[in-house]
Amino acid sequence: MIDITKFGAVGDGKTINTAQIQSAIDEAARTGETVVIPGGIFVSGTLNLHGASLHLEPGAVLKGSENLVDYPPQDYVHNELGALRALLINRDCDNVTIDGSGTIDLSGKSFYDTTVKNVPPSRVPFTEEQIAECTYPIGTRPSQCIFFHNSKNITLRGIRVIDAPCWTISFNECENIKVIGATIDTDLNVPNDDGIHFCSCKGVIVSDCNISSGDDCIAISCITNWGKPCEDIVVTNCVLRSCSKAIVIGYIYSEIRNVLITNCIIKESNRGLCFMCNDEIGVIENVRVSNMLIDTAIRAGNWWGNGEPIFMMAVKHDYHIPAEQQPERETAYAIRNVHIDGVTCMGENAIGIVGEHGNIREVELRNIDFTRKPSRNLALKGSTFDFAPGRVEVEIPETCGLYIGGEADVELKNINTRAWSQLRA
């Protein structure tokens, strides 16, 4: 075990310890030992793990610097977020564990003007309460705070991560990943501060986590490599709260397959469980969802979602991803072989399944109990689904509990939908 204080790190919450902690990491990478962060607040800029593991002792805080200059741009360019700026980076190195009962504080709000809110165009004027739910305006910030790329056998266990300025933890083209017993708590006004994002990964287990984030809690996509699938994913025993989508499977050109989601509670989320892909190139297949409690509450601001507890969309996307990134792929369907069984949900909008020309196939909803409840924010976007990043518009009656469109092939068994007034009668 290598204690960072032996290399001169000072846990006073003020001293910048980047060089000292990096020296400890470099030694650990050479010897195979684990770097220990003891009790105290240790401020740092970008650290490259080079395959070294970290252990955070009780009372330990690894705190990201509040100065952007301490996060120099790396030579990795993300398809959507641009040049990588991060606190912790592990690239091309295997067998890394970050564990313990300490905290990683990413100092996210320091990169925003928290006195200003980004209020989007709306059908009706915003109240002060609704303005308070909007995002801070986006500026330059660390983009992917804890970043893994092309790595195998990665474990995050027991740690607490707070206040991300953008994506909190991202795994990119990694294999054999375990995130167990982690707590992620990010500011609910910070845009894009996803909890965990898996991009083109294989063999993932997320269990026993508690995630509250201003964007997606758990996202499964192929953003960093559209041509490489993200597959063999298990999410279980988690409690999730999101200003956008609690769990989202797919995005633009992503190819996602073999996903199990079970025993999760989704609460106070703008959208609960979401499947989304382009109408022609994106693919989502072989997904099983069971034993879930979902509660949606529409949040005002530039968040994706409009209160849908369960939503599938396979429609044309109109977004800023360059056309040259489109992979060479042909498929006769977009979403296929999805089974959702045993879900109790309350939501401020209907359950929705919308594709185009029958490109959603072999979907089964079984044992779904849904109560549609009143909403103070539905009028902001109107009685419709949110198809972002597409531009589809569908009017959804406020009495609707389940909407299926675009010739989607859906089998329904034991579906119970009701209005809030019926529940309280």
Whether residues 29 and 101 share a domain: the answer is yes
Show which of 159, 192, 215 is a domain's final residue: 215
Looking at per-residue pLDDT, the higher value among 84 and 423 belongs to 84
Whether residues 239 and 338 share a domain: the answer is yes
For a pLDDT cut of 70, what percent of the chain falls above it?
Answer: 98
Residue 177 has pLDDT above 60, yes or no: yes
Model confidence at 281, in pLDDT bands (50, 70, 90)?
Answer: confident
Q: Check residue 320 and give its pLDDT.
A: 66
Show which of 191, 215, 239 is a domain's final residue: 215
User: Where does residue 324 rank: exposed (0-12), middle (13-18), buried (19+ CB within 10 A)?
Assistant: exposed
Whether residues 62 and 132 share a domain: the answer is yes
Whether residues 179 and 284 share a domain: the answer is no
Q: Check residue 422 and give its pLDDT.
A: 61
Segment 343-356 mean pLDDT: 96
Whether residues 177 and 156 share a domain: the answer is yes
Segment 397-416 mean pLDDT: 95
* HEC readout, the chain: CEEHHHHCCCCEEEEECHHHHHHHHHHHHHHCCEEEECCEEEEECCEECCCCEEEECCCEEEEECCCHHHCCCCCCEECCCEECCCCEEEECCCCEEEEECCEEECCHHHHCCCCCCECCCCCCCCCHHHHCCCECCCCCCCCEEEEEECCEEEEEECCEEECCCCEEEEEECCEEEEEECCEEECCCCCCCCCCEEEECCEEEEEECCEEEECCCCEEEECCCCCCCCEEEEEEECCEEEECCEEEEECCCCCEEEEEEEEEEEEEEECEEEEEEECCCCCEEEEEEEEEEEEEECCCCCCCCCCCCCEEEEECCECCCCCHHHCCCCCCCCCEEEEEEEEEEEEECCCEEEECCCCCEEEEEEEEEEEEECCCCCHHHHCCECCCCCECCCCECCCCCCEEEECCCCEEEEEEEEEEHHHHCC
CATH of residue 172: 2.160.20.10
Whether residues 235 and 205 share a domain: the answer is no
Model confidence at 392, in pLDDT bands (50, 70, 90)?
Answer: confident
Whether residues 405 and 360 share a domain: the answer is yes
Domain count, the chain: 2
For a pLDDT cut of 90, what percent of the chain falls above it?
Answer: 88
Looking at per-residue pLDDT, the higher value among 10 and 321 belongs to 10
Whether residues 241 and 318 share a domain: the answer is yes
Q: Check residue 424 and give its pLDDT.
A: 47
Whether residues 77 and 223 share a domain: the answer is no
Whether residues 166 and 314 share a domain: the answer is no
Whether residues 272 and 409 share a domain: the answer is yes
Q: Check residue 327 and give its pLDDT.
A: 83
What digits encode the pLDDT tens for the residues 124-144?
A: 899 999 999 999 999 899 999
Distance CA 363, CA 341 (A): 11
Q: Check residue 97 and give its pLDDT.
A: 98
User: Mean pLDDT of all residues in the chain?
Assistant: 95
Distance CA 41, CA 35 (A): 15
56 is in which domain, residue-wise? Answer: 1-215
What digits encode the pLDDT tens for the residues 142-163?
A: 999 999 999 999 999 999 999 9
Residue 369 has pLDDT above 90, yes or no: yes
Show which of 182, 215, 248 is a domain's final residue: 215
Model confidence at 391, in pLDDT bands (50, 70, 90)?
Answer: confident
Task: Give the count of beta carbons closer than 10 Å to the beta carbon of residue 182.
Answer: 24
Q: Check residue 421 and give its pLDDT.
A: 59
Model confidence at 425, in pLDDT bands (50, 70, 90)?
Answer: very low
Model confidence at 268, in pLDDT bands (50, 70, 90)?
Answer: very high
What digits encode the pLDDT tens for the residues 55-89?
A: 999 999 999 999 999 999 999 999 889 999 999 99
Whether residues 207 and 352 share a domain: the answer is no
pTM of the model: 0.97
Cα-Cα-Cα-Cα dihedral of 292, 296, 301, 302, to 10°? 30
What digits encode the pLDDT tens for the residues 236-267?
A: 999 999 999 999 999 989 999 999 999 999 99
